A and B are shown apart, each in its own frame.
Chain A
Amino acid sequence: MAERAGCEAARHERLVEALAGGLEPVRPLPAPGIRAALWLGAALLAGLVLVAEAGMTGFMLRMQVADLALAAIGAVLTAITAAYAAFATSVPGRSNRWALLPLPPLALWIGASGLGCLRDWIAPGTDIPGAHTITGCFSFLICVSVPLSVLIVVMLRRACPLRPNLTAALGGLAVSAAAAALLMPVHPHDATATDLLMHAAAVTIVIAVNGLAGGRLLVPSSRAEPV
């Protein structure tokens, strides 16, 4: 028993020496809020480029419709809170309850978007988009999500997510909400049931891909063997 304890102590000693011997200085990561702001800044930059391209006229007109405005606010708030929650849960010692933060804005986003399903009854004669336009929106959401996902995964990997699947799913939620918010300035029509379904599919795909692949991506790949 004492022999085993001595052997284990020597094993720990060897590991400590190996880790201390190869120590390199590191810069402490900025606070989760700052890292989330940096990522959101990149998304905002993309939004400004889109607004410059598409103009604000159509967007301002749509924002006068209550449910569309609420859906836009919900998507933006979801992106902000989910990004913060993802970065907070990537740091050991921070509460996992941060994961609950995006739920209220998510409810607002989903609820307000759901009103779009009733648009045919609320406002008959609304411009119904064709299949081609809807496919365009779907492609837009996926295309915008890919670079934002890559960026957030790279940033999250710098910390140490102890629950990588949760952190990755929150990152995916932030990405899909940001992509949906970015779509709004260039959205050529009002929301409808088909449109909403396509959005939901794109959002689900982005969250699922981030949650599944991202969970693995956030785990260190080159894990050193125990000494």
Chain B
Amino acid sequence: MILAVPAGLPACGWSLAPGSEAGQDAARAGGRHGSGARMALEEELANLMASAQRGDAAAYRALLKACLPVVSAIARAQGVRGEAVDDVVQDTLMTVHRARASYDPARPFMPWLRAITQRRAIDRLRRAGRRPREVNDPLAYEAEVDPGPAPEQGLEARDRAASLARAVASLPEGQRQAVEHLGLRELSLDEAAALTGRSKGALKVNLHRALKALRTSLTREAE
């Protein structure tokens, strides 16, 4: 899923890969955006929260949407798996709502969000731990499948995200813009044209060429 990035942010959807520490993953996997993207995201989220505290519903909506993949990633990093991740997301959003007055706009947003998410994830894991499971029947015990992704899947996803980020960063400027705005941020052609100052035709051509170049470079890398 591509992150719904608040306007004005660099496209860093791939940087919030599952299994990574949400506050640090933008730096790890964001390629050349690196810590710049992380700081921009941090600042943007802090600004959105400050607006939400003043009662700006649109800013609050954008903030909560931007938090969804971050919260999922932190929950997975805590060891929550499968459907429970979505329950942690719901619990966290409600706690964020209730605790929004406790956020100090002068301080970074991510530690505040991470602390809430980690706590809700721990609560969830504790509740799951209290649920009885069949351990006396060896067959039933062995057959109990962990519904979550395997441990190495997070690492693989991070590697894939990093190589995609590198490949996108190595594209010529026009092609990179086309991929970022149309492919990653899922903007419409009109929005991307208005944002970049390029014609819709040029963007389409650039996107086509970029995808071809990416296919070639990623295939070569995979081999």
Contact = CB atoms under 8 A, between A and B. Distances in A.
Interface of A: 4-5, 8-9, 11-12, 15-17, 19-21, 23-29, 31, 90-94, 158-160, 162-163, 220, 223-224, 226-227
A17 B52 CA distance: 14
B110 to A, nearest CB: 9
Given A16-B65, A223-B94, A226-B91, A158 B119 contact: no
Contacts of A19: 60, 64, 93-94, 97
Contact of B64 (A20, A25, A226): A20
Interface size class of B (residues with CB under 8 A): 35 or more
Contacts, number: 96
Interface majority SS (helix, strand, loop, mixed), chain A: loop
Interface majority SS (helix, strand, loop, mixed), chain B: helix
A16 B61 contact: yes
A9 B90 contact: no
Contact of A160 (B58, B68, B102, B105): B102
A224 B98 CA distance: 10
B194 interface: no
A226 B217 CA distance: 44
A160 B86 contact: no
Contacts of A224: 94
Contact of A16 (B64, B83, B111): B64
B101 A29 contact: yes
Interface string B94-114: 110111111111010001111
Interface of B: 1, 52-58, 60-61, 64-65, 68, 83, 86-87, 89-91, 93-95, 97-105, 107, 111-116, 119
B52 A160 contact: no
A16 B60 CA distance: 9
Given A15-B93, A19-B64, A158 B57 contact: no
Contacts of A29: 101-102, 104
A54 to B, nearest CB: 39
A161 to B, nearest CB: 9
A17 to B, nearest CB: 7
A4 B83 CA distance: 9
Given A11-B86, A24-B55, A27-B101, A16 B116 contact: no
Output the residue of A4, A21, A94 with the most chain B CB within 10 A. A94
Given A12-B86, A12-B89, A160-B116, A26 B101 contact: yes
Given A12-B68, A16-B93, A25 B114 contact: no
A159 B99 contact: yes
22 contacts: A8-B83, A12-B68, A12-B93, A16-B61, A16-B68, A17-B61, A19-B60, A19-B64, A20-B57, A20-B60, A20-B64, A23-B55, A23-B56, A23-B57, A25-B53, A25-B55, A91-B104, A92-B115, A93-B114, A159-B101, A160-B98, A162-B116
A160 B99 contact: yes
- 4 nearest A-B residue pairs (beta carbon): A160-B99, A25-B55, A93-B112, A93-B111
